[in-house]
Structure formats: structure tokens, C-alpha cells
């Protein structure tokens, strides 16, 4: 399901090119921001020439060895972003490139921790991180 605004336009699009990921991850200065939570790290680049809000997700094999777990984390992040985008003003939210990546090794689902409790823990952490992003966007749009 694509995140669409009330008028049927896309609100966010996924980053896919490695050059876009590198642009965000290496950005420094007033238009960039980074924050982290227990499980995730977020880097953001704010610019007026981006037509949509662009989100990218990376989950390395180092932190989640099984492809099933990597896909689970990305699915949770996409769903969390989809809900967070609707809570922000669409016009102020355009022009944003964001990369969210897993920063810690996941416990093995089913062995070290239950799968449903792992999902809940990751979703709560992603929601808290996006709430921080929401506050930063408000500050940057008010100061501009």
C-alpha cells in the first residue's frame, strides 16, 4: 500500500539508488540532522528541490543475519513511516530525504526472544525515532 495524501498524491517515496543513500549519509551542515534510538539510527537531509519525501531503509547482514529478519525490520520501518507521514503537514514535509538503519544486532526471533515481542519492541522504537524527526521538522520549518 502506497502512502497517499487526501488528494491522492504520494506523500513519500522510497530511496533506491546507492548514490541517494550516500548523499544523505555523508551530508553535513545546517540542512542535515541525525538522531538515534535503541535500535535505529536516522539521518536526514532537508532540501527544497526534492518533489517528495524520500525514505530509505538499510539493514545489514552484520546486525540481522537471516534475510527473514532483515525483511521483517524493513517492513516494520515502512509501516511506521507510513503512519508517521500522515501525522505531519504534507506541504512542510516535502523536500526531505531520510535514511533509517539498524544499528544493533537483533536477538534471534523465536530463540532468544519471542517474535511478537521483537516486532513490538522494534515498532515502538521506530515510532519514537520518527516522533523525534517530527519535532525537528517543526523546529526547522518554524525557524525558516
Query: What is the DSSP annotation of 28-73?
Result: -STTEEEEE-SSEEEEEEE-TT-SSEEEEEE--TTT--SHHHHHHH
How far apart (Å, rounded) are the C-alpha atoms in residues 76 and 81? 9
- In this prediction, residue 50 carries a pLDDT of 66
**pLDDT higher than 50, residue 25:** yes
How far apart (Å, rounded) are the C-alpha atoms in residues 40 and 80? 13
As a whole-number percent, the residues of the chain with pLDDT over 70 amount to 79
Residue 1 pLDDT class (50, 70, 90 cuts): very low
Q: Give the pairing type, strands 40-46 and 96-102.
A: antiparallel
CB 42 within 8 A of CB 36: yes
Question: What's the pLDDT tens digit per position in 50-106?
Answer: 667 889 999 999 999 999 999 999 999 999 998 887 666 554 556 788 999 999 999
CATH for 12-133? 3.30.230.10
pTM of the predicted structure, to 2 decimals: 0.84
- In this prediction, residue 112 carries a pLDDT of 83
**45 CB-contact burial (10 Å; exposed 0-12 / middle 13-18 / buried 19+):** buried
- In this prediction, residue 72 carries a pLDDT of 95
Domain boundaries, the chain: 12-133
CB 137 within 8 A of CB 92: yes
- In this prediction, residue 119 carries a pLDDT of 94
SS3 104: coil
Amino acid at each position: 500500500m502506497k502512502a497517499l495524501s487526501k488528494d491522492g498524491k504520494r506523500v513519500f517515496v522510497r530511496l533506491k539508488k546507492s548514490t541517494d543513500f550516500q548523499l544523505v549519509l555523508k551530508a553535513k551542515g545546517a540542512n542535515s540532522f541525525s538522531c538515534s534510538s535503541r535500535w535505529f539510527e536516522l539521518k536526514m537531509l532537508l532540501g527544497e528541490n526534492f518533489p517528495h519525501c524520500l525514505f530509505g531503509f538499510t539493514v545489514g547482514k552484520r546486525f540481522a543475519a537471516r534475510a527473514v529478519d532483515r525483511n521483517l525490520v524493513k517492513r516494520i520501518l515502512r509501516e511506521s513511516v507510513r503512519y508517521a507521514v500522515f501525522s505531519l503537514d504534507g506541504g512542510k514535509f516535502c523536500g526531505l530525504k531520510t535514511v533509517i538503519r539498524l544499528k544493533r544486532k537483533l536477538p534471534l526471533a523465536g530463540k532468544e526472544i519471542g517474535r511478537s515481542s521483537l516486532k513490538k519492541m522494534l515498532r515502538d522504537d521506530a515510532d519514537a525515532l520518527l516522533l523525534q524527526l517530527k519535532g525537528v521538522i517543526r523546529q526547522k520549518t518554524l525557524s525558516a
